[in-house]
Amino acid sequence: MVNAYIKNISFYVPEKIITNDDLSAMMDTSDEWISTRTGIKTRHSVGDTNMGPADLAVRASEKLFKKINISKSEIDFVVFATSTPDYAIPGAGTIFQHKMGLDKIGVLDIRQGCSGFVYALSVANQYIKAGTYKNILVIGAEVQTTQLDYDDEGRGTAIIFGDGAAACLVNGTKDKNKGILSTHLHSDGEFIDELSTKYPSSKYKDIINTKNIEDREHHIYMNGREVFKHAVTRFPQVILEGLEHNSFSVNDLSLVIPHQANYRITQAVQKKLGVTEDKVFSNIHKYGNTTAASVGIALTEALDEGKIKENDIVILAAFGAGFYWGSVVIRW
């Protein structure tokens, strides 16, 4: 049996940058207020380009193919994670597959929000280990800024989210001590309403009506305090679960790459794990929360900055809407 291995990874963010000062002109906030509460300075947006997650994923994948020594024809499966698909039907994965010119291969769409990239890697891991596929593209792509409410009522989410995509190639290695060692996935639907976009909804004949729009139910809603409370508990739990499963201790840990939700959450996770700041990667100040793309974007930058070396124990971890949370333990 082979181990699944992340061969390489790239990301793409749209050119438009929204600064905290830009947001201050739209709502009652300030650079200091946003920075203190979230750690975010800038986030990227598709603006009025009409680009969807599939388009961002194509850009990220084109950058990836410049790094890897295989052709598109050798890709035999795609796992595409997004919570903001281009169409309600079909999923963004098949749109991406067509635009990318990946001839008639299978595609699986993942809708696990901020935990999407971790869930997608878990699926790819099993397919590679089973020998079902040899070269899998794992995508995390998100366009959040088009559905945000840029006024005082929407401030809680408008300051946080950004757009972006990450693409990685997952294939196999015969070295049993390298690659993805284990994945750990959880969910709890009791808290669905604490972080959600309720409309449009197939539960209702009209899907969406004027009242839904007046009540802003077509915009993303987040109960920040409730999300924070659960995140600072679930993150360390699922990281420690991964370490214990592989008979590692916190001292064996080289780097944690968490979903970039909020810098205060990252700091809380670091303190609960009892590790130094350099052991928990953060780039939220540049990109904000890019949902399913954030772990992939952070992993790319950590590699580019030389923060991950051969034989390092790296844990990818995520928590978000659902609630879904999970971790991936990797020996690099």
Give catalytic residues, as residue numbers.
114, 259, 289
Tokens 């996935």 belong to 185
- Give the whole-angstrom CA distance, residue 93 versus residue 61: 13
Integer-rounded Cα Rg, in Å, for the chain is 19
DSSP E strand stretches across 162-258: 164-173, 179-187, 195-196, 221-222, 255-258
In whole angstroms, what is the distance from residue 322 CA to residue 227 CA? 10
First to last CA, the chain: 18
For 319, the token pair is 């928590």
C-alpha pair distances (Å), 311 with each of 175, 186, 254, 308, 317: 12, 27, 9, 9, 19
Residue with tokens 């990318």: 100
Number of Cα atoms under 13 Å in the Cβ half of residue 84:
30
CB atoms within 10 A of CB 62: 13
> For residue 75, what are its two tokens?
């890709």
Q: Are 78 and 102 in contact (CB under 8 A)?
A: yes
Beta bridge partner(s), residue 81: 110, 140
Task: Give the angle 177-5-2 at the CA atoms, nearest 5°.
Answer: 60
Tokens of 42: 């800038």
φ, ψ (nearest 5 deg) of residue 42: -140, 160
